[in-house]
Chain A
């Protein structure tokens, strides 16, 4: 009888250990997945900002080469040159310094 009880106890302990190991594995996978996701997300935002900066500069240069002066505001670029960007995530500060001086463009990332 005593032997039978010990066997049952061992089996239960073995089962608990397996469950714990599975839970740990599951948690590790979830944490790793979350870390990867947040890293990718952060990297994507950085790349988006870079691409937006390049697109605006390219449009400004293209505008100057075609029109002979720098654009007065950003709306001209969005309306005539097809510039689009996520206005909920980025704020673009466009400061004209003169028709023949390269404008000052600052891109600010909005906080969620």
Chain B
């Protein structure tokens, strides 16, 4: 006489499979959430870092190239640019610092040579970087940090032209 105690039901197969799937999906969701949180944290800290570094970089660039009438604000290939002409051993060359597609770029190029804005060397990722002349010898550079706050710095030009 055969016992009926071991009857095979569909649920015997489906239950472990569903349980395994639930476990897998939960694990994947937890990992995805963790990566999203990590990504947003690093992105905001990166933006905070780059916004301040970009201001320091431009300030230092101005200080290092500050000679009479060599620094001016203008445009380069349609982008607002900080234009630095050189009078030292780099005479005949110009450095352009500008923002192109949310990237702070620098281009060191011989005078008279035509180039597009995309040709510059990418320095940093920036957000809403602006350069303006506050007064005759004072420049204001501002950008936005990760929280959307505007951070800015004032840079004074020390060199004078012999007029």
Contacts from A to B (Cβ < 8 Å): 57-58, 61-62, 64-66, 68-69, 98, 100-102
Number of A-B pairs, beta carbon distance below 8 Å: 36
With a cutoff of 8 Å between Cβ atoms, the chain B residues found around residue A102 in the complex are 106, 108, 121, 123
Bound complex: CA of A68 vs CA of B60, how far in Å? 6
B17 to chain A, nearest CB (A): 16
**Residue B56, interface by CB 8 Å:** yes
Contacts of B152 in A (CB 8 A): none
The dominant DSSP class at the B interface is helix
Chain A to chain B: the 9 pairs with minimum beta-carbon distance, closest first: A65-B56, A65-B57, A65-B60, A61-B57, A102-B121, A100-B64, A101-B108, A68-B60, A61-B123
A47 CB, min distance to chain B CBs, angstroms? 13
In contact, B124 and A61 (Cβ under 8 angstroms): yes
- Nearest B residue to A65 via CB reads B56
Q: A62-B53, A102-B108 are in contact. Are A57 and B60 (CB under 8 A)?
A: no
Check A65–B108 contact: CB distance below 8 A. no
Chain B interface residue count, CB cutoff 8 Å, equals 19
A64 to B56, alpha carbons, bound, how many Å?
9
- Give Cα A89 to B57, complex, Å: 31
Contacts of B108 in A (CB 8 A): 101-102
Residues of chain B having any CB pair with chain A under 8 Å: 49-50, 53-54, 56-57, 59-61, 63-65, 90, 106, 108, 121-124
Nearest B residue (CB) for A105: B121
> B63 to A68, Cβ gap below 8 A?
yes
Partner of A65, one of B53, B90, B106, B121: B53
6 residue pairs from A and B, CB less than 8 Å apart:
A58-B50, A61-B53, A66-B56, A69-B64, A100-B64, A102-B106
Shortest distance from the beta carbon of B107 to any chain A beta carbon, whole Å: 9
A62, A68, A100: residue with the most chain B Cβ atoms closer than 10 Å: A100
- Shortest A43–chain B CB gap in Å is 15
